[in-house]
Amino acid sequence: MCVKKHQSAGHGSHPGPITGKIAGFGESNPGESHSMIVLGISGAVSHDPSAALFIDGELVAAAEEERFIRDKHAKGRFPYESARFCLEYAGIRPQEVDAVAFPYAPIPLSSPARWHYAARHWYAPDRALTAIFNGNRRYRRNMERLNKLVADFDLGGGRVRVVPVEHHLAHASSAYHLSGFKEKTAILGIDGKGEYATTFFGYGENGRIHKIREFYDPDSLGGLYGAMTEYLGFEMLDGEFKVMGMAPYGDPGRFDLSRLIAYDKRSFRVNTELVNVIGLRRYKDSRGKGYFFSPRLIDWLGPRREGDEIDDPYIDYAAAIQKILEEVSLGLIDHYLGDILKETGKICFAGGVALNVKLNQRIIARPDVKELFVQPAASDAGTAIGAASYVAHELGDDIQPMAHAYLGPCYTTGQCIEACEQHEAKPEWERIDEVPRRAARILADGNPLAWFQGRMEFGPRALGNRSILGAPNVAGIADRINAQIKYRERWRPFCPSILDRVAPDMLQTDHPAPYMTFTFDVGEGWKARVPEVVHEDGTARAQVVTRQSNPRYYALIEELEKLTGNGVALNTSLNRRGEPMVCSPTDALNMFFGSDLEYLIMQDVLVRK
């Protein structure tokens, strides 16, 4: 059902306690009932803009701009459509917004960040001098665009407070404040970079976030992995998942890539003669396109990989860089967060590298870790959540744990029928009963199924609302989806969605896994039962489904279990290679008719070719 959760009713300023650097915001009038409304806006680093809305500390809506404008990563854009959706879904007038939170802040000259950047970029003196003398130029450009958005929407009716939050504090808040952890919690943030910081170690206690140590650009584990992603023939922002998926096919010990990074247990230094380079140090191809690695890397390792096959020696390079990422990250966790983990065992993680599920499996395996929470929108899209949750907490709200990632638009059966009737392909459709049972029958008969229901997921993972499904016991179903539907590399793995009562046996653990952010070793008995969702190394990137979080999807997997004996579905996102996940019924129909899919269910509507 598509029920709006909140409706606005006479609200003004927040009557509760206000702390920190946002103190003094607003005044309350005695006897009035108020809600605190905070809108988070991301898009600070020129990709993955999004919006998120908190009301009284509860995350009620969030969406990525790419889904509305159909442009993957929406580079260079600001989240107008996603902000509009969040407000409309919650029934909030723009004038009622109390604060706008933005995940990019000015960095003072007294900070070591700008000096470190300048010293490490001595080979590009224009960049180095700019960092010292004009180091907040990107912040000012961002604020110009943000202030235009605020004015265009008339947010707050001219009285809204615009609050910048440091990029890595936003990542940290998106993980810590949404984790639900009450104990002292270790906080880890690793990505390419924000303003200058690339890596964050800290802890949360009693709702407050404390920094322990940050590392600064160009010393970036995300930047290192991203540069090698480009060398291995993929695009940054998309290809890191592919490198991670390629790594199990290779031998991490065949090549020693340690010269890419100097690491001494407590700090690291990326070799910018080879990777994470800028300016004249960049390798350029025959078309003049520049990359984040240097010609010296080509001289050392050979030509940049091209094509879709996984071949020698590149699979071994992928395995080697994955090994470096894991070893350096785990060593730094040990040094900076080890004491906190020994105390409580709780850790949360955000930043683009937090989507590296193999690293996350290694973190969970640490004897001092009891539970790891990874923000499901760990990339920069999630900083809209992080900035807004940070500001809402500063304004006195108690941030509620993240209950699910179903935070985007939803559509009624009537709207799905209307989309069918208006679509140029004139689809053959029927309204059906017992939808989960009908869907399970299609899957058990060996067919892939496009499955569209409920609210769209926030973050890069389809979690049963905008998915392509298959029965993981059907031989060749993964290859068929890769080749004929997703049009992507044939070696790419697929994820299992598993009933919560089945997961402990299949995954050999009861660690929470609602968001496909971890891989687990698959129990021996299950590898032959569901081979299409077991990767080359015997692991699976799993989603554990509960009846409470997604009742219709749960019912579908239960029906599939009756037919196949396995309470497991193969699940991948409803999109084609290079496209954003679908948002609307029309998007679903476009994708359906642009692929070899034969069955699409949208709410209670079955579409067939």
pLDDT tens digits for range 39-88 = 999 999 999 999 999 999 999 999 999 999 999 999 999 999 999 999 99
Mean local confidence (pLDDT), 422-447: 98
Q: Is 405 part of any domain?
A: no
Give the angle 405-182-172 at the CA atoms, nearest 5°. Answer: 55
If asked whether residues 164 and 47 sit together in one domain, one would say: yes
Band of pLDDT at residue 493, cut at 50, 70 and 90: confident
What local confidence, expressed as pLDDT, does residue 342 receive? 98
- The CATH number given to whatever domain includes residue 449 is 3.90.870.20
Percent of the chain at pLDDT exceeding 70:
94
If asked whether residues 511 and 591 sit together in one domain, one would say: yes
pLDDT tens digits for range 517-533 = 999 999 999 999 999 99
What local confidence, expressed as pLDDT, does residue 492 receive? 84
β-pairing verdict for 599-602 and 428-431? unpaired
If asked whether residues 139 and 279 sit together in one domain, one would say: no
Q: Is 189 part of any domain?
A: no
Q: Which residue has the tokens 């009450």?
A: 182
The alpha carbon of 461 is separated from its chain's Cα centroid by a whole number of angstroms, namely 7
Residues 151, 29: contact at Cβ < 8 Å? no
If asked whether residues 476 and 334 sit together in one domain, one would say: no
What local confidence, expressed as pLDDT, does residue 310 receive? 73
Residues carrying an active site annotation: 47
- How many residues are there in the chain? 609
If asked whether residues 386 and 417 sit together in one domain, one would say: no
Mean pLDDT check: name the lowest of 162-171, 373-382, 487-496: 487-496
Q: How many Cα atoms occupy the beta-carbon half-sphere of 423 within 13 Å? A: 22
What local confidence, expressed as pLDDT, does residue 491 receive? 76
Burial of residue 552 (CB within 10 Å: 0-12, 13-18, 19+) is middle
Does residue 32 register a pLDDT over 90?
A: no
Number of other CB atoms surrounding residue 3 within 10 Å:
5
Mean pLDDT check: name the lowest of 26-30, 332-336, 522-526: 26-30
Q: Is 402 part of any domain?
A: no
Phi, psi of 370 (to 5 degrees): -90, -40
Q: Is 347 part of any domain?
A: yes
CA dist., res. 312 & res. 315, Å (int): 6
Q: Which two tokens stand for residue 372?
A: 């790891």
If asked whether residues 599 and 457 sit together in one domain, one would say: yes
If asked whether residues 252 and 151 sit together in one domain, one would say: no
Band of pLDDT at residue 457, cut at 50, 70 and 90: very high
pLDDT tens digits for range 547-578 = 999 999 999 999 999 999 999 999 999 999 89
Question: Cβ neighbours of residue 492 under 8 Å, at least 6 residues apart?
Answer: 242, 245, 482, 486
Q: Is 499 part of any domain?
A: yes
If asked whether residues 333 and 388 sit together in one domain, one would say: no
If asked whether residues 366 and 431 sit together in one domain, one would say: no
What local confidence, expressed as pLDDT, does residue 16 receive? 28
Looking at this protein, which amino acid is placed at residue 109? L
pLDDT tens digits for range 258-293 = 999 999 999 999 999 999 999 999 999 999 999 999
Does residue 151 register a pLDDT over 90?
A: yes
Model confidence, pTM: 0.94
Does residue 184 register a pLDDT over 90?
A: yes
If asked whether residues 243 and 264 sit together in one domain, one would say: yes
What local confidence, expressed as pLDDT, does residue 48 receive? 97
The total number of structural domains that make up the chain: 3
Residues 219, 269: contact at Cβ < 8 Å? yes
The alpha carbon of 548 is separated from its chain's Cα centroid by a whole number of angstroms, namely 22
Q: Is 12 part of any domain?
A: no
If asked whether residues 534 and 464 sit together in one domain, one would say: yes
Mean local confidence (pLDDT), 164-179: 98
How confident is the prediction for the chain on average, in pLDDT? 94
Of the candidates 470, 461, 391, 30, the one whose C-alpha atom is nearest the C-alpha of residue 177 is: 391
Q: Is 194 part of any domain?
A: no
Q: Is 208 part of any domain?
A: no
Band of pLDDT at residue 26, cut at 50, 70 and 90: very low
- The CATH number given to whatever domain includes residue 260 is 3.30.420.40
Of the candidates 555, 589, 584, 583, the one whose C-alpha atom is nearest the C-alpha of residue 569 is: 555
Question: Cβ neighbours of residue 16 under 8 Å, at least 6 residues apart?
Answer: 36, 395, 396, 397
Burial of residue 370 (CB within 10 Å: 0-12, 13-18, 19+) is middle
Domain end: 360, 394, 428, which one?
Answer: 394
If asked whether residues 354 and 453 sit together in one domain, one would say: no
Band of pLDDT at residue 12, cut at 50, 70 and 90: very low
pLDDT tens digits for range 496-517 = 999 999 999 999 999 999 999 9
Does residue 338 register a pLDDT over 50?
A: yes
What local confidence, expressed as pLDDT, does residue 3 receive? 53
> Distances in Å between the alpha carbon of 175 and those of 399, 513, 572?
12, 15, 24
320-332 burial, b at 16+ Cβ within 10 Å, e below that, comes to bbbbbbbbbbeeb
Domain end: 343, 374, 405, which one?
Answer: 374
Q: Coil, strand or helix: which one is 81? A: helix
Does residue 312 register a pLDDT over 80?
A: yes
Band of pLDDT at residue 307, cut at 50, 70 and 90: confident
What local confidence, expressed as pLDDT, does residue 542 receive? 98
pLDDT tens digits for range 362-399 = 999 999 999 999 999 999 999 999 999 999 999 999 99
Q: Coil, strand or helix: which one is 328? A: helix
- Domain range for 450 is 413-608
